Structure 1
Amino acid sequence: MAAPLAAERLLQALRAEGVHVVEAGNWRTHNRNSKGPWGPLNGSIVHHTVTRGTASTVRIVRDGYSDLPGPLCHGMIAKDGRVHLVGWGRTNHAGGGDPRVLEQVVAESYSSSPTPPTPRQRQRGGRRCPLLRVGAREPRRRQGSLAGCQYDAIVRVQAALCRAHGWSAKSVIGHREWSSDKVDPRGIDMPRLRADVAERLKHPASWNPGTGPNEEDPMAGITKRDIFDAVWKTDAIGGPKDAADHSTNPTWQPQSILKDMQARIRSMDKRMAVQTAAITALAGQVGTGADTRTVVSAVEAAIQRAVTDANINTREI
């Protein structure tokens, strides 16, 4: 049990843990505190959303619905690992849950998982547990497909909350562990998540697996899309600049650039074969006393053989 953190202290805790934070509007004061006090806090509940697109999901969890006003959580962890903070204070997120589960979380008294919740619970969780939602996930995504950077962010967020509030990893539960009518977060093994959080808590907040305790992992949070954009969406790689090539393909997607490079290399190889044959023929005539016509004929014959052997289109020469 702990008093709620100030918004600025939450930011410090998350960033110290290596979390990439995105602040959404007036999140520090966006809450449901007008409906009653927030706190004391007893743990953190992990959810997932069944939505499409990061921007749309952030908007939904921040503003809510007509019959369920927002915020619906405190932060949304997107697929790229970024944590979008949307509110801080009392929120409409946890619904009714099993009082026995809350008791076990407060005491951190269970083994690998709390006692399974029973139906028709009445204990409310909106003011007692901070919540960081798992990010936007398509409805038909198969279970277990959570992105690695997203899972890493979840572990870091939960470790930051536990570290700041003085909790162990047993203060972290899933929505389905709180309420019997919930199935989320899908794709997350909660005992494993708690074990990973516990492992982080053994180290300083700056710890990155595989690096020294005070070293920053330069690849932390980098996605395939980040790498793609860095390689292809730069001025350094814009495709051929000559007017003829640009007129046939003004956009120059990565695939067409690679094909163009391959074609140009093949053309260079063919031209080199022809030039080599010509030089070899010339060298063979040196010192023979042959007249100019004989030398020219020998070079032309060598070039023709090179063209035939390499299957070269004469228009390329």
Structure 2
Amino acid sequence: MATPLSASAFLAALRAEGVRVQEHGSWRTHNRNAKGPWGGVHGVMIHHTVTRGTADTVAIVRDGYSTLPGPLCHGMIAKDGVVHLVGYGRANHAGLGDPDVLAAVIAERRPPTDDKATVDGNRVFYGFECENLGDGKDPWPEAQIEAIERVVAALCRVHGWGARSALRHLDWQPGKVDPRGPGMDWDSVLAAVAKRLGGKPPTTPLPSPTRPKVSLRELVEAAEHDPSAKGAPVTYSGTRIVEAALVDEGLLAKRYLDGHYGTATKDAMSGWQERCGYHGRKPGQPADGIPGKTTLTKLGKKHGFDVKD
């Protein structure tokens, strides 16, 4: 465990590693510290943004959304390799993740497949979003990949960590797929980081992805829950997996990836049900958005998860 760097030391570490940095506003004091602690820190997490255009992406990761306030990271790595600093301290980037993955990061060993979402990642990781559409087709330029390697190496160097102290969002939280796309080879990134640090590349490969399972019963319970009548929204990790699939389908905005089966998720599921040929009980009525086994199974086959009753 390491104490987070001061903002000045953080900036100095990046620059010492040759990172091209652009500072935005009062980034040094822009954080979510009032909502919970930050530190000790154990590693560096890399994400993609599902956005296009550097200026718009900077604005989004700095300010966030009404449902997910910014900052959404500490720095945004643009396609040209410039790292835009937008916040420092606790940031809404990692969310809840797998304790076994955290243990692997601390031990600097290959992370296991993530299947739980119980540990606060916003507290324990530096976070960097990367400008990319996240559709599996948008390429990762060499300048951007090199900037990722330099950022990770900078923080590992100053904290005395190895390359396995870096991880992807998809390693941390079930249902996440970021970062992905042509040119994003994580084993190569880790090897380059290790070389920069003067060590040997990690020799154990990343685990083969396994298909997570979501519970139809728990999803239906979450979808039918009425917060106004029954208290706080139901949070279920399987909802995050389904939400990520709906985001990939273009039916749900990324800002609603929160594990709450609210109105936005229900509307998105309704859209998926209608794509599958299902509609409401009355003519012209939209599908209800309550998960059904047939349409949920179709979504899972396309996006890599299985359905259990």
Aligned-residue offset at 1:189: 2.2
Q: Corresponding residue for 1:198? A: 194
Aligned-residue offset at 1:24: 0.7
The answer to whether structure 1 residue 156 and structure 2 residue 153 are counterparts is no
Paired residue type of 2:158: A
The answer to whether structure 1 residue 85 and structure 2 residue 85 are counterparts is yes
Q: Corresponding residue for 1:44? A: 44
Distance change in 2, residues 1:177/1:140 (3 Å): closer
Aligned-residue offset at 1:92: 0.6
Q: Corresponding residue for 2:24? A: 24
Equivalent residue runs for 1:271-282 within 5 Å: none
Aligned-residue offset at 1:84: 0.0
The answer to whether structure 1 residue 185 and structure 2 residue 179 are counterparts is yes
Aligned-residue offset at 1:180: 1.8
Q: Corresponding residue for 1:142? A: 137
1:131 alignment partner, SS class: strand
In 2, distance between residues paired with 1:21 and 1:197? Answer: 19
Equivalent residue runs for 1:125-274 within 5 Å: 125-135=121-131, 137-138=132-133, 142=137, 145-187=139-181, 188-202=184-198
Distance change in 2, residues 1:141/1:179 (3 Å): closer
Q: Corresponding residue for 1:98? A: 98
2:45 alignment partner, SS class: strand
Long gaps (5+) in structure 2: 200-309
What TM-score do you get using the length of structure 2 for normalisation? Answer: 0.62
4+ residue runs of structure 1 moved beyond 4 angstroms?
A: none
Aligned-residue offset at 1:70: 0.4
Paired residue type of 1:34: A
Distance change in 2, residues 1:133/1:67 (3 Å): same
Aligned-residue offset at 1:169: 0.5
RMSD: 1.4
Contact preservation (8 Å) 2:75, 2:83: yes
What TM-score do you get using the length of structure 1 for normalisation? Answer: 0.60
In 2, distance between residues paired with 1:191 and 1:141? Answer: 17
1:181 alignment partner, SS class: coil
Structure index of larger Rg: 1
Equivalent residue runs for 1:115-130 within 5 Å: 115-118=112-115, 120-130=116-126
Aligned residues: 197
Aligned-residue offset at 1:140: 5.0
In 2, distance between residues paired with 1:197 and 1:178? Answer: 20
Paired residue type of 1:193: V
Q: Corresponding residue for 1:256? A: none
2:124 alignment partner, SS class: coil
Aligned-residue offset at 1:7: 0.6
Q: Corresponding residue for 1:306? A: none
Distance change in 2, residues 1:60/1:190 (3 Å): same
Aligned-residue offset at 1:191: 2.0
Distance change in 2, residues 1:9/1:184 (3 Å): same
